[in-house]
Structure 1
Amino acid sequence: MSNRYSKNSLIGDSKSPDLELFVKGVPFHLHKETLAKKSAKVTTLLECSKIDELRWILRDIDIDPTTFFLVTKFCHGYKIHFSSEIIVSVLCAAYYLEMNDDHSSNNLLNKAVTFLEQRVLTSWNETVKALRVCSDKILDKITDVGIIEVFLDSLVEKALKDPRLLEDLITLPLRLYESLILESSKHNVPIENLVVSLCNYAKRWVFDKDSGDESFSRYKREVIEAVERLLPHQRGAISCGFLFKSLKESIFLDACSDCRNGFEVRISKQLDMATAKDLLILSSKEDGSYDIELLKTILKSFYSNYNVSDVSRFVSVAKMLEEFLFEVAASDASLKVETFKALGEITVAASCDVLRYSDEIYRAIDVFLERRRGLTESEKMEACRVLECKKLSPEACEHASKNEKLPLRIVVQVLFFSQQQIRDRWAKELKGVHEKTEDVDVEEEENDEIENMNKKLLRLDIESDSSKKRGIENLACAVHCGKKKMKEEISVWREVKRKFGCMTSFTVDACNCYIKKRK
């Protein structure tokens, strides 16, 4: 490259060059007077006899050898051809070297500006091409003469006509991109188009890029901080998945606290719109563990934003956490009992007084134990401490009572509460009947049966492991027989209720029929 630029044949002069310039390590052998005819800056340096300074005249700007070669060709009278990719660099060089019409008519700066106006700014694609290759030093120089504003105005004007064009800006340097998004937002470009562009910009420069060296990690941090500043705060405007990824990256890149807090606030406003997979993105660490404290922080922020009237949102979050617990238990074979228990406690706290049944928590425990057959009895008990047996549905109780993976004490509790559920449903079925004496007899019979059950459970608790299965089966049989007996007695009251126009059956959620007056 150095030999090509130093050839006398290219500069069209038989005299020996008397000036050697270096551009990014590449030497250029030129004639001082030839440059001075087009450059007022070179003329001034020659008049002041500042030859040493002239040799490093381009050290303050980020001009590449290709651009300067065009400049020297122009100074020696050759016809040059501009392109969108090089025009900004040529403008910068012409402005810095003071190659204007005041010094020489029809000079390089005038030609470059004409090309910019007629061939670049009229086209969205060409304008983006021109800005894509700009370095910070070049941007500093063209900012001084107001060219940046010209580019911004041109792009914003076109984006207002077609906001979808904003997606094309993701290849621009952050400095230009941020300015363009700010200007677009001031002119009421639709939020959805701004969000799409910002998400794609973060995906290109942060999510899909390895951290690399320290300088690139710093750039990624600058990008994620800028994206957070530019994102809107409206609930639902940004997908939960993107917010969770962004928060995770902001923590990993050690972004400023305002950036992390900004993502946390946006997530807490729409946590009820998230999914279990979103939560997996956020809570999983680089080492495969889970950030329990971060999860608690997000939940605390969510609950502080809403009041007791927002029951539907609380329900959505509680269900999401249950699904999240199941996904973690089913997919992460390395999940420790302590971690599962901590996540389970968070899930139970979220479902308290919101969800009627704890079946999904039981399902998560079941799959956790299924995938970890080697756990000791005490470890199983630790994993099951988050289970509220009294909140299991009849179907879940029936399944748990036969579940050999559960610790013996949990099975005992399940059978006990299952018997209570039978009693409660029976009492509700008989509600409204005025046969008080018969009700007393029924209650005494129930109490006797429960007392017998408790005695059996106590005996079961001290049996050896070899007899565990047999004891459970016997208890389950006892519960089944109790159900059958009660159904036979309840059928009499169903006939009575049918006469009064009540429903002829009841659901597992408890009968909510009332005696109706006969017409």
Structure 2
Amino acid sequence: MKYRSVIPGHEKGPMVTKSLEREKPTCGSVLGGKRNCCVIFPANVSMIAESVERRNNNWFVRTQVASDLMVQVGENSFHLHKLPMVSRSGFLNRLVFERRSGDTNLNISIDNLPGGSGIFELVVMFCYGWKVNLTATNIAPLYCAAHFLEMSDDLEQGNLVSKTEVFLSFVIFSSWKDTFRIFKSFESISSWARDLQILKRCSEAIAWKACTDPGAECLNILPVNAHTSNPKELVNKWWFEDVSFLRIDHFIEVIASIKRKGMKPEIVGSCIAHWTAKWFSRITFKLDNLTHKDHLIQMQRVSIESLVRVLPVEEKSVSCNFLLHLLKMGQIMKIDSELLNKIERRTAFMLESCRAKDLLVKNYGHGDTDYDIGIVIKVVKAYASFVSSNSSSRIFVVGRLVDEYLTQVARNENVRAKDFQSLVEALPNNARYCYDNLYRAIDMYLKAHPSLAEEERSGICRAMEYQKLSQEARNHAMKNDRLPTDVITRFILLEQINMTRSIVAAGSDHRRTKSQEILRARRRVGKGWMNFQKEMKMMKRDVETMKVQLNELQLCRMQLQRHP
């Protein structure tokens, strides 16, 4: 006999009759259909239903015997028969016998069945002798429901637990794509999937495939920074895109399995960075909108903390730029302070091997600067604290790095003078052999911010040391009207002193001591600020005159040495 089949959810009337083409099973084995899809039957059929009728949320199984069992699953009621159900389910068997009474019909409510009423419908089909189609999308919840209902072979050989187990193992180890479909089905059965080890089995299958079959199926995907990757790296990262679709708890399981398989730390780190960029790229971090009660924010906080914990510990397994972004997100989301300090220290230790562009971390929201300078200040200060007790550090490398970073952000009109100055002063004075790069960054900043107050300009220039500037930079500084007047004055005085020393050393009759020169210059400045520009010109002219004198003396000395 054949019956028409109606898919639940596509009904056109108040009553729906559902039945399948029923086949009498010849054995209790799993029957393979298409690839990654199979049909299962029970080994023995104690009662065969002719049809299932649905009225709204009520399901009626029609047989020659009246219904004597009603099972409530969520909002749906299933009008069933005790014999086919309790003979295969230890859970229902126990409930039925615990509640035996004089009533003909027995009502049982199941509130926490894995997969809900949709999966219970498949269970009913199995118990009544209908074929059940297993796919990658329903196998995990059906397997969990079979365990929940205690449908083991102890009750009947070839019961639902063993049959779903066979197909589940087949799918996990045979198909990369279907393994991810199984992961997707975990979202409603997470605790069961973990307790029954399905999550672990799927994670280990993906890890095994990623580690042993590089470049297998997804060579068309490009990882983060693919333009800088060589072909070998692309092959090693073929699985990144598929894994990046997993939610955080499933992703962490996969990463843990991959690490146990011995995947290279830098590839694991790249995968974590790829997942993070994908999931957080569309999130707007606005401090004003964050509340500890917001469920979404709590999930994001948990995600960031989980990522920090799973990061490979090996040096250079993740980039400095990724750690800075992770630190910024951690600060905004107010993650655990110990984890936040852990990222900060690790980032600080990486500064000696960074490039300036690695420090560029975009700001989120509107009205902010393009790049977050505050996060860089925090890390540089952490590094400065670290190097104070470590003599082997290469602080000059970090000094050059900071100056290059300042040059890159100097032209941004929204960079505050306070932040710029804080970063200039974040490192100690001995962090720079030469101040030319710092002077260039300061000059670029002053040019891009012409409306700064004199006090702000003086604060920015305070850390700049005249003696560590090259002669070319000194000459430029003394003619640079963008510098504050006190800095220009100090530079001119020091230049005069240097010239005087050089002239004296060269043997000029025009001898002045250091103290005499300083007094003469200060008297000029002290005549009054009304004529300051005039005095400055005179001082600069004196410097130029002294340079000419010095050049003449050096030329004379060279001539005398040639003709003794």
Q: Please report the TM-score for the alignment, with normalisation by the length of structure 2.
A: 0.73
Displacement of 1:487 in angstroms is 1.5
SS at match of 1:281: coil
The residue aligned with 1:281 is 361
Does 2:72 align with 1:7? Answer: no
Comparing 87-96 with 157-166, which one deviates more in the overlay? 157-166
The residue aligned with 1:487 is 551
Partner Cα separation in structure 2 for residue 199 and residue 14 of structure 1: 56
Does 2:444 align with 1:367? Answer: yes
The residue aligned with 1:455 is 520
SS at match of 1:110: helix
Match runs of 1:28-39 below 5 Å = 28-39=78-89
* Counterpart selection for 1:265 from 335, 338, 345: 345
Higher strand content, 1 or 2: 2
Comparing 473-482 with 144-153, which one deviates more in the overlay? 144-153
1:150 maps to a residue whose letter is: R
Residues 252 and 306 in structure 2, CA contact (< 8 A), matched pair in contact too: yes
Partner Cα separation in structure 2 for residue 176 and residue 343 of structure 1: 40
Match runs of 1:495-514 below 5 Å = 495=559
Residues 401 and 414 in structure 1, CA contact (< 8 A), matched pair in contact too: yes
* Counterpart selection for 1:193 from 267, 270, 285: 267
Displacement of 1:484 in angstroms is 2.2
Superposition RMSD in Å: 3.7
* Number of residue pairs the alignment of both structures matches: 478
Partner Cα separation in structure 2 for residue 118 and residue 459 of structure 1: 93
SS at match of 1:236: coil
2:212 maps to a residue whose letter is: K
Displacement of 1:172 in angstroms is 2.9
Q: Please report the TM-score for the alignment, with normalisation by the length of structure 1.
A: 0.79
* Counterpart selection for 1:300 from 371, 384, 408: 384
- Does the C-alpha gap of structure 1 residues 110 and 354 become closer, same or farther in structure 2, counting only changes over 3 Å? closer
1:108 maps to a residue whose letter is: L
- Does the C-alpha gap of structure 1 residues 88 and 499 become closer, same or farther in structure 2, counting only changes over 3 Å? farther
SS at match of 1:84: coil
Residues 377 and 423 in structure 2, CA contact (< 8 A), matched pair in contact too: no
Partner Cα separation in structure 2 for residue 354 and residue 498 of structure 1: 43
Partner Cα separation in structure 2 for residue 50 and residue 199 of structure 1: 58
Residues 69 and 79 in structure 2, CA contact (< 8 A), matched pair in contact too: yes
Structure 2: gaps (5+ residues)? 1-7, 20-50, 53-60, 215-235
SS at match of 1:447: coil
- Does the C-alpha gap of structure 1 residues 198 and 398 become closer, same or farther in structure 2, counting only changes over 3 Å? same
Residues 419 and 450 in structure 1, CA contact (< 8 A), matched pair in contact too: no
The residue aligned with 1:324 is 405
The residue aligned with 1:170 is 244
Partner Cα separation in structure 1 for residue 529 and residue 100 of structure 2: 101
Comparing 14-23 with 170-179, which one deviates more in the overlay? 14-23
Does 2:216 align with 1:157? Answer: no
Partner Cα separation in structure 1 for residue 522 and residue 409 of structure 2: 33
Partner Cα separation in structure 2 for residue 425 and residue 411 of structure 1: 21
Partner Cα separation in structure 2 for residue 454 and residue 391 of structure 1: 24
SS at match of 1:361: helix
- Does the C-alpha gap of structure 1 residues 179 and 375 become closer, same or farther in structure 2, counting only changes over 3 Å? closer
Q: Deviations over 1:426-475 (max 9, x none)?
A: 68xx7xxxxxxxx5x42x5242799568535532454445x544443443
Higher helix content, 1 or 2: 1
The residue aligned with 1:84 is 136
Displacement of 1:409 in angstroms is 2.3
Partner Cα separation in structure 2 for residue 486 and residue 85 of structure 1: 88
Q: Deviations over 1:6-28 (max 9, x none)?
A: 73444444357665555454554
2:547 maps to a residue whose letter is: K
Residues 497 and 517 in structure 2, CA contact (< 8 A), matched pair in contact too: no
Residues 67 and 90 in structure 1, CA contact (< 8 A), matched pair in contact too: yes
Match runs of 1:317-356 below 5 Å = 317-333=398-414, 335-336=416-417, 338-347=418-427, 349=428, 352-356=429-433
The residue aligned with 1:390 is 467
Does 2:313 align with 1:233? Answer: yes
* Counterpart selection for 2:481 from 404, 412, 417: 404
Partner Cα separation in structure 2 for residue 412 and residue 60 of structure 1: 80
2:16 maps to a residue whose letter is: K
Partner Cα separation in structure 2 for residue 78 and residue 326 of structure 1: 73
